Structure 1
Amino acid sequence: MKTFKYTFLLILISLSFSCEDYLDKEQSFEALDQDDIFSDIRLARDFLDGAYTYLITEVSAAAGNPDILPAMTMGGEGYPGRMNNNVPERYNSYAQSDYLSLMNLDGGSGQGQTPNFVIRYYESWKGIRVVNTMLENIDLVEGASQEDVDNLKGQAYFLRAFFYHLITKRHGGLVYLKENLNLNDPLERERETYESNLADMLEDLDIAIDLLPVTWSSENVGRPAKGAAMALKSRITLFAASPLVNKSNDQQAWVDAATAAADLINFANANGLYSLVNSSNANSIDVGHNGADLFEPEPSALLPYRNIFVGQGKSKVIPQEVIFMEVNQDVVGTGKTLLPLPQTYLTVGFDIVKGNNNPMNIGALANFVDKFETKNGLAIKDDPTYNPQEPFINRDPRFYNNILYDGVQWTVTSSSPVNGTGYADLAVVNEDGELGLDLHSPTTAANRLWQVKNHTGYRIRKWIPNGHYLTAGFQGQLDYHANNIIFRMPEVYLNYAEAVNEAYGPSGSAPGLALTAVQAVDMIRNRVGMPNVDGIYTGSKETFRDRIRNERAIELCFEGFRYDDIRRWKIAHLEENLKLEFLEMRWQGGVSDIYPTGFSYENVEPVDFRKKTFSDKNYWWPIPSSEVEAVPTFEQTEGW
């Protein structure tokens, strides 16, 4: 069996290796050579499936490990509650703009203290090698129908574009390999521009769109179909049209992005695919002062929307608006318990994950939570009915799906819970004059810091179903699933709205689609019971741009979008995206006109937590120093 070291320079893998297919079948290639693998369509298919094991998206768990520095913390959506080991140190390295040290961490898969984006850099090159090997040999496969060949090629071209998108969106232009290097190739390679890589990604995607099926047969459910390639094209063209890349604001780039999104919308409509989940009855939930649903963990009218993300039972049913997602959960523990990673582990705390099984309890930042509108469809600063001393009432219904706040009924059934009250306890001073049981205490003993709790005053509800818990030995109440969604249709409508607004204005539409930018956003809002975008936000491209960006923040929150959004918009350096604000909730002795709930509420910048820094060079990440040291012509990212 041949073996080579995986690096960018020698992305030379043996054609005889063991891999795990993305559908959780193990296929061994030990003792097989290249001719064996590509002599049989089944072996060739299993070989390509090995490439999926290297695909680490923003929602993926690398080797079963949740991301130690997820996009939701880098993008200013949340802050980690874990205080021991290297988790806060990794965040602090990012906050101090020490990106090169992060990229120089061990990039081996399964390194628990290495951020996924570091592992992704290395794993993507491995996946590209597998894909290129497949494309170089696919025509040798015997006994394959033209449909078989087209399906394999379509997946390979899709995967190559996806691998390159994942690394170029952070590092900029690299080297787009359409053929694998071999030992006799010179290593003096120079980095290409992002624009050059973009052209190659789009070329690969156009081929994939042409070759992939509209849908797969039942035994292949979960593979990327034509719509997944179109969704990736929409995402990439929007990234390329944005200020980070499109420095001259070339309008054609926006037209291209609008067209890519429109093509997918028309395709979905023509084929009856990817329709939005309807949860419009959510406008009926009673979330006013002392409302019947205000402290419900999962209001029934919101369940159609909530079940896009989490649901009861371990068996996943792909939601109707999902275009592509990771279909299987990780099998971990001696009992082979299915655990939904990584979002649940990132957002839960000790009471839900007993035994210190790597929870992080990322809490939502108060300044991010302020982006949720009122149910009247207005920003909180624009709605005279909004009372900052009663911030939980009458908000966008998605607030009650995504945010867990003090007083919500929350079942913790594990033994000896820190918080056994039956509700979220997040007050800095509660009715008993004590710190809430879900919050970190500044007096916590060093040997108890592993009991991960909250800092921010808000928890994330989106990925935690009520009643779930895990105890040591992989026991507990685990009869639920979380969907690791890679593409879903609301992103496409929001991509369309943003690109159309920039190219044609709020009331414009892309050629071939009678849908305005405003109407596209209204579709996303109406399906959760929110009113149309208020007219005060649609009068100009500039004002509507801000509302589109806010809508993305709400609809796609905690799904891995925010960090790349604020980068591509070139706003990551602004104060609003650097600050940390925690909600401080304090009992004031009783209900009064000033304090309708008896509590005061205040967003506070904590003095003991490191504020983020961000300069122009931080918009593009460095590559590992070892790459440049080995081949100096492969230059480091500008500024690093």
Structure 2
Amino acid sequence: MKIKLYILLFIFAPLFVSCEDYLDKQQDQDGMDQYDVFEELLTAKEFLNGAYADLITEVDALGSSADYLPGMTMSGEGHPGRLSDIGATDFLSVYPAFSAGEYLSLMDKGSNYPNFVGRYKRAWQSIRTTCSFLENCDLIADASSDEVDLLKGQAYFLRAFNYHLLTKRHGGLIYLKSTIDLNEPFNQTRESYESNYEDMIEDLDLAIALLPVTWESGEYGRPTKGAAMALKSRISLFRASPLVNESNDVTKWEAAAEAAGDLINYAADNGLYPLIDASAAITMDVDHNGADLYVPEHELLEPYRSIFVGPGKTKIVPDEVIFMVANNKLPVINGVLGFPSTALTNGFTFMKGNQKPMGIGATANFVEKFETKNGLAIEDDPSYNPQEPFINRDPRFYNNILFDGVPWIEETQYNKTGIIDLATVNENGASGLDRHNYALTSNADLYKVRNLTGLLIRKWRPHGWLWSSNRNFHVNENVFRMAEVYLNYAEAVNEAYGPNGTSSNCTLTALEAVNMIRNRVGMPNVNSIYTGDVASFRERIHNERAIELCFEGIRYDDIRRWKTAGDDENTKVEYLEQYWQGVSETYPTGYRYSTEEQPALKKTFSEKHYWWPIPTSEIEAVPSFGQTPGW
């Protein structure tokens, strides 16, 4: 039987290497004939592994640079402190184009940065690989049916995952299930998102049936049955949300609730993905002059913090993590492969400027979403004092946000005091050592990245650990974790059945699911002032997702699917400014704090910006395909 191997001819062809090219490279390396690839399990598995190399999730690094425009910047969670193109060619043009709404100019960039531009190309390559594999995998002669099924399950998962990465940004495309003959004309038009959704779910149902519960340690990083169920939950929620579900068809919310409920039940039945318990963290003394307020990494928070960073080079997969990127590589001299989240959120104090740190700091308007430890929004808690904004907040605040005055040890270049210094003007009349000062920064220093926003991101920032060849930490680039699944469930159930409703297949109420996420860090149940009706609880669910999943590449797609990306709170960028006044009743810390909007950074947003265009070159190649509406 002859193996079907076609060169792809369709609008994405300029972005691909052909299957023949790939196999030619294999022949050059291994002395193999291309028709031998699918005759042996080992070479067929290596062929499928190529699809992993092209899978660029929201927490991956594409090559050796941190992302120029990651989700946490597009969502307004943070803003970069990098002020120069030195070591990051063309970086300074990216955010202005995005904030001006010039999305097509970004998609037409010739480089791979921002990541989603390179990912658009790489996702199609991965899809090509999975289609070719699924066409030919039954020809593997030296494998059992079980071994082939495990590979098929991965291929179905990878195809669906790549299509989700594409369709969540660009809308409906063309769902390829086979390679295309060079001699056949290509004049197809784009399919609807709903059609693509049905194909993704079909692939994921096949993956769920074929993938294992767990893998042997040597296969770390491959998807499991739970990972496929988590992706199904995420996709189902996206499809049920206002961006896609314009008529608010309640059956789509019900389907999303059932998809999350299936995984909740599956995890419970198999003893998988239990939420890590850090409930004692609520007892930290973080009041005015509290003993724990300035502790860098409190031991009571350590169980929660271990989900994200930890000591030692070897990753230990946290219990609640369902799927993570399997990178564990040392940093290279001029790159960040293996630690993209750390490179995004750190600056020159941790990484040299030519290692491309982005120094993204948390924005003041986003940080205001963290409740007080009383379980109230800051605007609803009379005890909250904006002139002492760091005290008595949700314990997750102290895992995620790093503020002025916290002792912090790094391979520092500027701040050798060992204490975070983010003052706009400190008691000596100078700018803090960790903060950029435009007036005093020379051109030669612009690439030495420091903070602009007045708040650092602690979530991916290792304390007391070295970046160089003596690295003694690891970073978990989590793709799916169980906390998201509970929040997916809560959102879908609330929309379909209300705060106290349940799905058809799970006994948890929407409110109980949210409280599980809060209680595991010691936060009280959602206050009753937020649970009176669907609309009130919807706002609290949205806020809970913002806090629990912050800086994980999820929020940008959340505010798009909710159709709130154009709201003022999501288009503006505010910095925290702090000026020394001397300690007084008015200024308990001695600083006057204020949030200051940065008008030059405000994002232009209209209806067309909810869906991204595809590269112009593809429309020119095949006009029948059609550009995204509005572009």
TM tier, smaller: over 0.9
Deviations 1:198-227 (A, max 9, x none): 111011111111111111223223210100
Alignment CA distance shift 1:413-1:128 (3 Å): closer
Q: Determine the structure 2 residue equivalent to 1:23.
A: none
What residue number does 1:614 align with? 605
Task: State the match for 2:495 in structure 1.
Answer: 502
Answer yes or no: is 1:442 the counterpart of 2:438. Answer: yes
| Structure 2 letter corresponding to 1:158 | F
Contact 1:16 1:34 in 2 (8 A): no
Could you tell me how far apart the structure 2 residues matched to 1:19 and 1:12 are? 11
- The equivalent of 1:432 in structure 2 is 428
Compute the displacement of 1:441 (Å). 0.7
Distance 2:479 2:10 in 1: 26
Q: CA deviation at 1:598?
A: 1.1
Amino acid at match of 2:69: L
Matches within 5 A, 1:181-330: 181-330=180-329
Matched, 1:71 2:71: yes
Q: Distance in 2 between matches of 1:133 and 1:127?
A: 10
By how many angstroms is 1:63 displaced? 1.9
Contact 2:466/2:472, CA 8 A, preserved across alignment: no
Could you list the per-position Cα deviations for residues 424-459 of structure 1 after superposition, in whole angstroms to 9, with x for gaps in the alignment?
101111111111111111211112111111111001
8 Å CA contact 2:23, 2:34 repeated in 1: no
Deviation at 1:43, TM superposition (A): 1.2
Equivalent position amino acid for 2:508 in 1:
L
**RMSD between aligned alpha carbons?**
2.1
Match of 2:342 in 1: 344
Q: Which moved more, 1:208-217 or 1:124-133?
A: 208-217
The reply to whether residue 89 of structure 1 matches residue 88 of structure 2 is no
| Contact 1:231-1:261 within 8 A present in 2 as well | yes
Offset of residue 13 of structure 1: 2.0
Structure 1 residue aligned with 2:49: 49
Partners of 1:18 and 1:363 in 2: how far apart? 44
- Structure 1 residue runs of 5 or longer lacking an equivalent are 21-25
* Cα 1:2–1:250 shift into 2, 3 Å: closer
Of 512, 527, 540, which aligns to 2:533?
540
For residues 331 and 453 of structure 2, the distance between their equivalents in structure 1, rounded to whole angstroms, comes to 30
Q: Distance in 1 between matches of 2:9 and 2:355?
A: 32
One-letter amino acid of the structure 2 residue matched with residue 586 of structure 1: Y
Q: Which amino acid aligns with 1:256?
A: A
CA distance in structure 2 between the aligned counterparts of 1:187 and 1:69, rounded to whole angstroms? 33
TM-score by length of 1: 0.94
Q: What are the Cα deviations for residues 5-25 of structure 1, in whole angstroms up to 9, with x where unaligned? A: 9961465622463799xxxxx
Counterpart Cα distance in 1 of 2:286 and 2:394: 10
Query: Residue by residue, what CA displacement relative to the aligned partner does 1:455-504 show, whole Å, maximum 9, x if unpaired?
Result: 1100100001112344xxx44x5210101111000000000000000000
Q: Distance in 1 between matches of 2:24 and 2:556?
A: 32
Rounded to whole Å, the distance in 2 between the matches of 1:454 and 1:137 is 52
Distance in structure 1 (CA, Å) of the matches to 2:473 and 2:159:
33
Report Cα offsets for 1:563-582 as digits up to 9, x if no partner: 00000000111111111111
Which residue number corresponds to residue 582 of structure 1? 575
The residue number in structure 2 matching 1:634 is: 625
How far did 1:187 drift?
A: 1.6
Q: How far apart are the structure 2 equivalents of 1:273 and 1:33?
A: 43
Give the deviation of 1:88 after TM superposition: 3.4
SS in 2 for 1:600: strand
Q: Is the 8 A contact 2:6 2:181 kept in 1?
A: no
* Correspondence for 2:459 among 459, 462, 473: 462
* 8 Å contact kept, 2:401–2:457: yes
Question: Does 1:13 find its partner at 2:23?
Answer: no
Alpha-carbon distance change, 78 to 378 in structure 1, aligned in 2, over 3 angstroms = same
Question: Are the structure 2 counterparts of residues 350 and 402 from structure 1 closer, same or farther at C-alpha, using a change threshold of 3 Å?
Answer: same
2: distance between equivalents of 1:339 and 1:174?
Answer: 30
Cα offset, 1:30, TM superposition:
4.8
Cα displacement (A) at 1:340 = 3.9
* Cα distance in 1, alignment partners of residues 491 and 8 from structure 2: 45
Corresponding residue SS for 1:264: helix
Structure 1, 145-154 or 253-262: larger mean CA deviation: 145-154
Residue in 1 aligned with 2:472?
479
**1:21-60 alignment, distance < 5 Å:** 30-60=30-60
Residues 383 and 511 of structure 1: CA distance in aligned 2, closer, same or farther (over 3 Å):
same
SS at match of 1:412: coil
Q: Which segment drifts farther, 229-238 or 422-431? A: 422-431
Gap regions ≥5 residues in structure 2: none
Alignment partners' CA distance in 1, 2:71 and 2:240: 21
Q: Which residue is equivalent to 2:168?
A: 169
The structure-2 alpha-carbon separation of the partners of 1:106 and 1:330, relative to structure 1 and needing over 3 Å to count, comes to farther
Residues 561, 142 of structure 1: alpha-carbon distance in 2 compared, 3 angstrom cutoff: same
Is residue 396–residue 530 contact of structure 1 (8 Å, CA) maintained in 2? yes
Q: Which residue identity lines up with residue 149 of structure 2 in the other structure? A: D
Residue 593 of structure 2, aligned match among 596, 601, 606? 601
Other-structure match for 1:573: 566
User: Could you tell me how far apart the structure 1 residues matched to 2:331 and 2:529 are?
Assistant: 51
**Is it true that 1:381 corresponds to 2:379 in the alignment?**
yes
1:549 aligns with 2:542: yes
Q: Deviations over 1:571-604 (max 9, x none)?
A: 111111111111011110x221111111111111
Which amino acid counterpart does residue 623 of structure 1 have in structure 2? I
CA contact (8 A) 1:16 1:30 kept: no
- Give the superposition deviation at 1:558: 0.2
- Higher-helix-fraction structure: 2
Match of 1:105 among 99, 106, 109: 109
Q: Which residue of 1 aligns with 2:352?
A: 354
2:625 counterpart SS class:
coil
More deviation in 216-225 or 610-619?
216-225
